[in-house]
Amino acid sequence: MKEIWGNEHEYKDEYDDMEEWEAEADFFDKRDWKGLVEYRRQKAENHSDAPDYQWSLGEAYVRNKEYEKAISFLGDLHKKYPDDLNIQHSLLDALFAIGKDETVVNWILSLIF
């Protein structure tokens, strides 16, 4: 697959003038999950204290089939935000994708009991 952007500055320039939802829609329309990961990584770095931006990066890892990375990232994020349903669902998506289920992680047990 050909790289769309030569460097980080070219990447930023292409999406700077777009609304955030427009940039996201562009990645989804093109099914450019690698680009989505990079876009959301930059957003997560710029908003390191915002759980929604952090979750969206983890969700991008899932879409890009980086399941182990998603599980590690979202698992750590879940420890900080145990009640966040987006984090829980994306973590489960990654687990299911590799043939695992919620029984492999201890945190889900705390939701049951």
What pLDDT is stored for residue 74 in this prediction?
Answer: 95
Confidence of residue 23 (pLDDT cuts 50, 70, 90): confident
What pLDDT is stored for residue 96 in this prediction?
Answer: 93
Say how many domains are in the chain: 1
81 within a domain of the structure (yes/no): yes
3 within a domain of the structure (yes/no): no
84 within a domain of the structure (yes/no): yes
38 within a domain of the structure (yes/no): yes
Q: C-alpha angle 53/13/35, rounded to 5°? A: 50
pLDDT of 2 strictly over 80: no
2 within a domain of the structure (yes/no): no
pLDDT of 112 strictly over 60: no
pTM for the model: 0.75
Q: Which two tokens stand for residue 5?
A: 């952007």
The more confident residue out of 102 and 28 is 28
The more confident residue out of 105 and 85 is 85
1 within a domain of the structure (yes/no): no
Range of the structural domain that residue 76 is part of: 8-112
Q: How far apart are alpha carbons 42 and 101 in whole angstroms?
A: 30
Looking up residue 78, the CATH number of its domain turns out to be 1.25.40
